[in-house]
Chains A and B, each alone.
Chain A
Amino acid sequence: MMTASLNEYVIISALLFCIGFFGVLLRRNTLVVYMSLELMLVASTLALVAFSRFNNTMDGNIFVFFILTVAAAEVAVGLAIIVALFRKRHTVQIDKLDSLKN
């Protein structure tokens, strides 16, 4: 049976992180931006579990629970803000959200 090494896990999580990061910077729809943010958190989670398994330390697995909780709270607040914003402005395109200026 083929087993993945630590390097492969770390590379995959780094790729996920990059996809998420550039998604946040480049995508124009707020919901897709928000999904990209979650992808970045998932990348960290994957790396944590892999490090935890290969280093044989338990802290990483426990930390994942905290990250999941934080991500859930962030989604709850974030989606509420996006829904309220959509009701006010009738758009979720980032280009249109530019009324704050000097």
Chain B
Amino acid sequence: MDISVLQTLASRNLWGAITPEIMLGCLALLLLVLELLFPKQQHQAVPAAALVGLLCVLSDVLVNFQSAYLGEETFNGLLRHTPGGQIMRVFFLIAAIMVCLLARVSLAKQRMPRVEFYHIVLVVTAAMMLLAQANHLVMLFVALETVTIGLYILVSYYRTSSLTLEAGFKYLVMGALSSSILLFGIVLLYGVAGNPSLPAHTAQSMHYGQLAAFLAANPHNFLASVGIVFVLAGVAFKIGAFPFQIWVPDVYQGAPTPVTAFLAVSSKAVGFTALLALAGTVFASYAWLIAPVLTFFAATTLLFGNLAALTQHNVKRLIGLSGVSHAGFLILGVAAVSRVPMATGAIYFYLFAYLLASFAVFGVMTHLAGPDDADQELDHYAGLSKDHPFLALVLAIGLGSLAGIPPLVGFMGKLFIFIAAFQAGLYGLLAVAILGVVISIYYYFGWIKAAFFETWANSPDAPARPARTPVDFVTGLALGALALSTVILGFYQGPLGAWLTRR
């Protein structure tokens, strides 16, 4: 090969375009160095360094939000930088900050090495940010695997607990199974799109744009449709869509609470950025296949998530299954994307509303958990409003927003999705979704009722309730900010809402 060809190829690697991800990687390595340098008593400096570093990266992304790379493809088409990608970068960074804050509270109750946890959170976050900008199936697969393998470790992090290890093992098998299905789908698409005997075949058959052009020219190819179904099934595992949601309650219960939050918010959002890019644009010409698949996912996921959550007593299982139903609402949005462009913005808005409300609830859960992290029952919330009025208020706002009670941001998120679905003419799914909202109010209010209206019965034979952790200043500030923005964004979406729903 001529050296000038290599030079041209290398010149397309615009490293400046992924500065935030590189900064995160360096920060992750820095944490390991700090652990070596500091004496053991000062290891609390490491999470502080992680938080400060994450805030720096977040401000860098926000300052350079309208970056010069927007709309461009870098790294020979592996990445494509879009406003949506920038939004998701901000999303994953905020989520990582909250996970680190919750981990400080949760890890203090365990005898575990601390530093590696933050290290893996940072690496996984960098991979998520790259995935949000992926424009190539290889990039999608490699970034998704970096996320998944990091999460295997995080889920089984409290390795002294056999429940956590069991959850880690279940997540490992299900995660690896879904990755293999996704990979086989990618391989089939690669093979069929490179077939020289078909029209519009391409040498770069894993590139999103080229693949979309090929699929548009061959709208009824059998192998390609099998590949598409496999890829969608692989992604559905990650977002916990029915019938691929079986792992959700067990893994959410066994995983450490900050990791449950990471799974519920970031990992789900990863699935949706991938689904949005694939079902929304690349596979758009296979609407005859995708539309029924997405309709099936949305309807069954909404119904299953809400009905299964009704019977739960363990709050981690409850929030996991309610998360399944939220995935249903988001799939409803994805189903509308091909006909209503505004649905993309509605999905982003819903994800942010879900982020704020979920971390408020998970923050309260982290403070109520005892040394046995899997044991968090609804009964433990009795009398919370008397002992910890602040935590009870944050919990009520978070749960109210998840349920979609009108003045809160969760309501606006659902409203935008419903408007998009209405405009796309998905009336049947809309009816299912409204039914889902009605069911969900029951179990969310059961939780609020436990925190506000029930008192802890001090009977001698009942098992003792785990001690509640007092809220420290930084975590309290963050939880307060989450609750406050949940309320304010519900009343006033401002330019953010207008900008999101315009595209």
Contact = CB atoms under 8 A, between A and B. Distances in A.
Q: Chain B at the A interface: mostly helix, strand, loop or mixed?
A: helix
Interface stretch (B93-101, B168-176, B473-481): B168-176
Contact of A57 (B142, B168, B194): B194
Nearest to B312: A102
Interface of B: 138, 141-142, 145, 149, 152-153, 156, 159, 162-163, 165-170, 172-173, 176-177, 179-181, 183-184, 186-188, 190-191, 194-196, 201, 203-206, 249-250, 253-254, 311-314, 317, 374
Given A97-B169, A102-B312, A102-B317, A47 B187 contact: yes
A91 B170 CA distance: 15
B163 A100 contact: yes
Interface in A14-71: 17, 20-21, 24, 30, 33-34, 37, 40-41, 43-44, 47-48, 50-51, 55-57, 59-60, 62-63, 66-67, 70
Given A100-B166, A102-B312, A84 B159 contact: yes
27 contacts: A20-B180, A24-B173, A30-B169, A30-B173, A40-B181, A40-B183, A41-B183, A44-B183, A50-B191, A55-B191, A55-B195, A57-B203, A59-B203, A60-B190, A67-B183, A73-B149, A74-B176, A74-B179, A77-B149, A78-B152, A81-B168, A81-B169, A84-B156, A85-B162, A88-B165, A100-B254, A102-B311
Contacts of A50: 191
Given A17-B184, A66-B141, A100-B374, A77 B313 contact: no
Contacts of A62: 138
Given A67-B183, A70-B145, A81 B156 contact: yes
Interface string A72-102: 0110011001101100110000000101111
Given A51-B191, A81-B156, A102-B311, A59 B138 contact: yes
A47 B180 CA distance: 13
Contacts of A21: 177, 180-181
Contacts of B191: 10, 47-48, 50-51, 55, 60
Nearest to A6: B191
A60 B311 CA distance: 48
A60 to B, nearest CB: 6
B143 to A, nearest CB: 11
Contacts of A73: 145, 149
A20 B173 CA distance: 12
B167 A100 contact: yes
Contacts of B138: 59, 62-63, 66
A102 B313 contact: yes
Contacts of B169: 30, 81-82, 85, 97
Given A55-B201, A70-B179, 14 more contacts: A21-B180, A24-B177, A37-B173, A57-B203, A57-B204, A59-B206, A60-B191, A70-B145, A77-B153, A81-B165, A81-B172, A88-B162, A100-B163, A102-B311
B196 A56 contact: yes
A70 B142 contact: yes
A74 B145 contact: yes
Contact of B190 (A30, A43, A59, A101): A59
A66 B194 contact: no
Contact of A44 (B152, B159, B170, B180): B180
Q: Chain A interface mostly helix, strand, loop or mixed?
A: helix
A44, A63, A85: residue with the most chain B Cβ atoms closer than 10 Å: A44
B35 to A, nearest CB: 20
Contacts of B253: 100
Nearest to B193: A55
A21 B181 CA distance: 9
A77 B250 CA distance: 20
B190 A78 contact: no
A9 B180 CA distance: 18
Contacts of B168: 81, 85
Contacts of A89: 162, 165-166
Nearest to B252: A100
A37 B203 contact: no
Contact of A85 (B165, B196, B201, B203): B165
A99 B166 contact: yes
A32 to B, nearest CB: 12
A21 B187 CA distance: 16
Contacts of B166: 85, 89, 97, 99-100
Given A59-B204, A67-B183, A102-B311, A78 B176 contact: yes
B142 A84 contact: no
Nearest to A37: B176
A29 to B, nearest CB: 12
Contact of B184 (A33, A40, A88, A99): A40
A37 B180 contact: yes
B190 A37 contact: no
B29 to A, nearest CB: 17
A57 B204 CA distance: 8
Contacts of A85: 162, 165-166, 168-169
A97 B340 CA distance: 46
A89 B161 CA distance: 10
A14 to B, nearest CB: 8
Contacts of B179: 70, 74
